[in-house]
Amino acid sequence: MLLLLLLGVLSVFVGSPDPCVGSDVLSSQLFILPLMHHNFSFLTPGVSYRPSLRDMPDLPSWLHYTYSPAVRTGFVYGVPPEGIQDFELEVIARDKHTYETSHQVFKMNVLDQSRKPYEVRFKIQNMNVEELLVGGRWDRLHQVISNDLWQESADDLTVTSLASATERGDRLPASPDEKEGVYVSYGSSVPFSAALLELEKEVEPLWHHQPCPLYFKKTSYERFFQQQGFAIDWCSFKLHNNKKSNTIGEDANGEDEGPKSPVISALENEGRVYLQRRDQVEKRSYTFDVVHTILIPLVVMLVLLGLLTLAMCCHRNHIRRFEDYATLSRPDPPPYQRNGTTPTR
């Protein structure tokens, strides 16, 4: 009886370990794990989720977690970088009212897939990540890209990146009622359509504006996004041809240097970083910096010090000459004042 009681207490604090749930994911392609569709021991409105890698304290940099109050569940999403191995996700659900916990492990089998050569990247201003993942908005956005802008890629279109604006370095909005924004990237093996090329040429003058103008003229294809409830930040709309850009892990001859770090691969897939080797960095001279920051201020200080010294010396000589002139022009005192006697009447 005592042993059963101890097991019951441990199950409350640790949670009963459920069997692993397997799932296949593709590298360089977004996967979304909705936690509400899996059999936790309870599903109540007051449940919070804490995902992490198994036997690790947190998620890797390329995996993210968000919670949607609309459907009362959490989402784990990310793009596995190229060359990454299979991994396991551990999710602990906790009831905030009863403090009951439930534990589950998701085994992710990563299938290798090369990065898509053609990508279109843009930012959605009027939504957060959790809002985009619910209510059928994700499917409507996919239809706008595949049906209206990039029809040739309908059978090959995949999501290659999804990140909130704050994860990309944008600031939080000043008003709490405004949305953070979402950066989305779609990739395909099919070259860009004429509509995408025309749209990029139309918004290219906005790329150098920070922040983006609020009252920019309507683009030719903006109506397709507005009909589905999406407001696009046209300053971030760009097309990327990954065949022409250099990749991390290749030298000047195009030879592969070996496996890449998962963190570097994730940042490269998101378009956030491009690293160079030490011998590829251009050498520069710091002579101008030294002259500009040290020598010029030193020369200015010496000139000012000389002018101050000259001004003080001239002022002192002027005072001395004035005293000598006052002494010479003063009349001699009477004889009785020189002898110290007083005159008699």
Q: Give dist(CA 100, CA 6) in Å, integer.
A: 16
Quick one: residue 340, left, alpha or beta (phi over 0 = left, psi -120 to 50 = alpha)?
left
CA-CA distances (angstroms) from residue 134 to 34, 128, 240? 10, 11, 28
| pLDDT (0 to 100) of residue 177 | 83
* 158-164, strands of its sheet edge to edge: 158-164, 182-188, 118-124, 232-241
Q: Does residue 149 sit in helix, strand or coil?
A: helix
CA 44 vs. chain centroid, Å, equals 34
| pLDDT (0 to 100) of residue 259 | 42
Q: Give dist(CA 278, CA 86) in Å, integer.
A: 31
Q: Spell 106-135 as b/e; 16+ CB within 10 A means b.
A: bebebeeeebbbbbbbbbbbebbbbbbbee
Residue 156 and residue 190 in contact, taking contact as beta carbons nearer than 8 Å: yes
Nearest to 56 by CA among 13, 101, 87, 18: 87
Exposed/middle/buried for residue 150 (C-beta within 10 Å: 0-12, 13-18, 19+): buried
| pLDDT (0 to 100) of residue 77 | 94
Indicate the domain borders of the chain: 14-111, 118-241
Percentages (nearest 5) of helix, strand, coil residues in the chain = 35, 25, 45
Residue 76 and residue 51 in contact, taking contact as beta carbons nearer than 8 Å: yes
Q: Does residue 102 sit in helix, strand or coil?
A: strand
This prediction has a pTM of 0.64
Q: Give dist(CA 225, CA 48) in Å, integer.
A: 33
Cβ-proximal residues to 94 (8 Å cutoff; 6+ apart), any chain: 47, 48, 49, 50, 100, 101, 102
- Which neighbouring-strand residues pair with 48? 94
Residuewise pLDDT in 10s, the chain (345 residues): 333 333 333 333 333 334 456 678 898 899 999 887 555 555 566 788 899 998 888 898 899 999 988 888 889 999 998 888 899 999 988 888 888 888 889 999 999 888 899 999 999 999 999 999 988 899 999 999 999 999 998 888 999 999 998 888 888 888 888 899 999 999 999 999 999 999 999 998 888 776 677 666 678 888 999 999 999 988 889 999 988 754 334 443 333 444 444 445 555 555 555 556 666 777 778 888 888 888 889 999 999 999 988 888 877 766 666 666 666 666 666 665 555 555 555
- CATH class of this structure's domain 14-111: mainly beta
Cβ-proximal residues to 338 (8 Å cutoff; 6+ apart), any chain: 332
| pLDDT (0 to 100) of residue 30 | 93
Which amino acid belongs to residue 270?
Answer: E
| pLDDT (0 to 100) of residue 10 | 34
**CB atoms < 10 A from the CB of 184, how many?**
24
Q: Give dist(CA 200, CA 203) in Å, integer.
A: 5
| pLDDT (0 to 100) of residue 8 | 38
| pLDDT (0 to 100) of residue 285 | 83
CA-CA distances (angstroms) from residue 18 to 21, 40, 89, 106? 9, 8, 13, 10
